[in-house]
Structure 1
Amino acid sequence: MTVKDVAKELKLDWHAVKALDKEYMQEQLRRNPVSAPRAIGIDEISLRKGHTYRIVVSDLQRGRPIWYGGEDRSEESMDMFYQWLGPKKTKKIQLAVMDMWKAFEKSTTKNVSGAAILYDKFHVIRHLGDALDKIRKMEYTRLSGKDRSYIKGQKYTLLSNRENLTLNGQKALKKLLKANKRLNAAYLLKESFGQLWSYQTEGWARRFFDNWKNALKWQRLEPYEKFAKMIERHWDGIAAYSRPENKVSLGFVEGMNNKIRVIQRKAYGLRDEEYLRLKILTCMLKEI
């Protein structure tokens, strides 16, 4: 229930209910002090439509957000987290999971020189999805008539996981891939790329990626070629997952990020940022 719903149900002032909610969450945080994290997840959220960002850092082993702050998504704002955590606890960090935003990496490398950097799988896959959508648009522009009609309105069908599609969606996907060889090749390459994170050694992961990259030859899939170059530039942070000491549940990371984004969406338009901060920091804590 929302604060407004509770206030209506209990016939209380909206501001009084919100104040009680804030006190409750503050007590939750007091009872659950932050311990030194071994593995952290770094993500950013936008407060409003535009470019107002805050950084959220989570303890991946304990499964909870531990810091919300910064003034934007700059290196200086990321430094604020390590200053807040303190040198003693910061030294305990062995792994930092993040997207491919240079400011986060530079700050982490500077403040925790011994920590491994791991790029979040779901952010990488999102870049691949964007590349596939560009190919879809290119094909739509290139074709006409019946060939174009198969592509129109099929963005969701093409970018979704097959198992998430309805029966009609699966039929539409099958028809689309049968009608367009280039989209079919691009789709199969996208579906296979997730296998990269299944290898136990960097050597096997590298062999898979080289084979995937070689499969692009003669396909005329320019957005994928650009994606492959991006992977090359960030290879160390992607291959880091193949090392046993860097194994974290990437599904959990994505699940927690999604939960934070649901809170964020509900908070659009709210002016009380402290309330949003408390909501995020307590979203994975047990009720008192």
Structure 2
Amino acid sequence: MGCTTAPRCSWESVAGIVVRVVAEAVDDARLEALYRIGVDEISYRSQHRYLTIVADHDRDGAVVWAKEGKDAKTLEAFYEELGEERTKALEAVSLDMGGAYAKATRTKAPQAAQCIDPFHVVKLANQAVDKCRRWAWARYRLSPGHATWIERTRWALLKDPNKLKPSQREILEELKAQHGALYRAYLIEEALRDVYRAGPAEASERLDAWLAWACRSRIPAMVQLSQTSTLLN
């Protein structure tokens, strides 16, 4: 039963409740000592309405602010509530790949470094790997058995390696032996994940190495991914 069905509460009311809870349930110091924050949106009402959420990276992602909407004005309202002095203290802001939050941050906190949230970058990499898989399927579509097997590689390619089932690990081993380009695309995608696992001292060097590898791979989807990542860097 949906949360708006039992109490006969509208989605607009739910959004208002969420915003009030964030504002009231957290302590008054929630907007103090903010240096590295993350901004993202969550959807509700069948993804037709949105809330902008601001979290503090230095406090394990604790939510410090929320407001209905997802445009530049919505995030500008956060910076205005934060105030000029506290906004000037911001060092980095992680964002999605849309332009609205970036615009608000450039306007209100121009000194803060803007970073793309890893979730969105890894999602791009997953899409690139899946594009390679579909290309391989199209290449072998006249061989039904082979094409069907390639279809079954999808979750082995996209799933977190630490959560792979034994059967999925076997698929990757077979893929490594039979489909070099697709397996290399998988390795490139996993190497990008490793960039985000690296510490600050290693991350920049790893990213440069990853960009060079992806660009030289001669796999169209991976070359395009490296070019997009360079623009985001």
TM-score (norm 1): 0.65
Ranges in structure 1 where 5+ consecutive residues have no aligned partner:
4-12, 16-20, 236-288
Corresponding residue for residue 107 of structure 2 = 110
Post-superposition offset of 1:31: 6.3
CA offsets 1:4-53 (integer angstroms, 9 cap, x no match): xxxxxxxxx979xxxxx999987633566532411111111111334422
Q: Report what 1:56 is aligned to.
A: 53
Structure 1 position 186 matched with structure 2 position 205: no
Change (3 A) 1:33 1:182: closer
Checking the alignment, whether the CA contact within 8 Å between 1:70 and 1:78 is kept in structure 2 is: no
Comparing 155-164 with 167-176, greater Cα deviation is found at 167-176
CA RMSD of aligned residues (A): 3.0
Aligned letter for 1:169?
Answer: Q
Question: How many angstroms does 1:105 deviate by?
Answer: 1.3
Contact 1:95 1:115 in 2 (8 A): yes
Hey, what does 2:224 align to over in structure 1? 226
Q: Distance in 2 between matches of 1:93 and 1:122?
A: 21
What is residue 99 of structure 1 aligned with on the other side?
A: 96
For the 8 Å contact 1:157–1:172, the answer to whether it is kept is: yes
Matched residues in 2 for 1:167 and 1:115: separation? 44
Q: Give the 3-state SS of the residue equivalent to 1:57 in structure 2.
A: strand
Which residue of 128, 131, 144 corresponds with 1:131?
Answer: 128
Contact 2:95 2:101 in 1 (8 A): yes
Q: Which residue matches 1:276?
A: none
Q: Deviations over 1:165-205 (max 9, x none)?
A: 11122112222332322211211221222343436268634
Q: Distance in 1 between matches of 2:66 and 2:126?
A: 29
In structure 2, what is the equivalent of residue 85 of structure 1?
A: 82
Q: Which runs of 5+ in 2 are unaligned?
A: 9-16
Write the letter of the residue equivalent to 1:213. A
Using the TM superposition, give the Cα deviation of residue 126 of structure 1 relative to its aligned residue in structure 2, in angstroms. Answer: 1.3
The amino acid that maps onto 2:229 is I
Indicate which of 34, 37, 40 corresponds to 2:37.
40
Name the CA distance, whole Å, in 1 between partners of 2:91 and 2:147.
50
Alignment of 1:247-266 (within 5 A): none
Contact 2:215–2:222 (CA under 8 A) maintained in structure 1 = no
Q: Please name the residue that 1:204 is paired with.
A: 205
SS for the counterpart of 2:191 is: helix
Give the corresponding residue for 1:66: 64
Hey, what does 1:169 align to over in structure 2?
168
* Kept in 1: contact 2:39–2:52 (CA 8 A): yes
What is the letter of the counterpart of residue 183 of structure 1?
L
Q: Displacement of 1:206 after TM fit?
A: 5.7
CA distance in structure 2 between the partners assigned to 1:65 and 1:135 by the alignment: 37
> Any conservation in 1 of the 2:191–2:210 contact (CA below 8 Å)?
no
CA distance in 1, matches of 2:208, 2:225: 17
CA distance in structure 1 between the partners assigned to 2:184 and 2:91 by the alignment: 39
Q: Equivalent pairs: percent with the same residue?
A: 23
1:55-93 C-alpha deviation (Å, 9 max, x unpaired): 10011212310111142x221222121122222322221
Q: Quickly say closer, same or farther: Cα 1:55–1:152, change in 2 above 3 A.
A: same
In structure 2, relative to structure 1, the CA distance for the partners of 1:25 and 1:55 (3 Å cut) is: closer
Partner of 2:217: 216
Q: Say which structure, 1 or 2, has more relative contact order (CA 8 Å, 6+ apart).
A: 1
In the alignment of these two chains, the number of paired residues is 217
Q: Distance in 2 between matches of 1:88 and 1:57?
A: 18
Three-state SS of the structure 1 residue aligned to 2:26 is helix
| TM-score using structure 2 length | 0.79
Equivalent pair of 2:72/2:104 in contact (CA under 8 Å): yes
- Is the contact made by 1:55 and 1:69 (CA closer than 8 Å) also made in structure 2? yes
Closer, same or farther in 2 for the Cα pair 1:60/1:173, shift >3 Å? same
The alignment partner of 1:157 has SS state of helix
Whole-angstrom distance in 2 between the partners of 1:114 and 1:171: 49
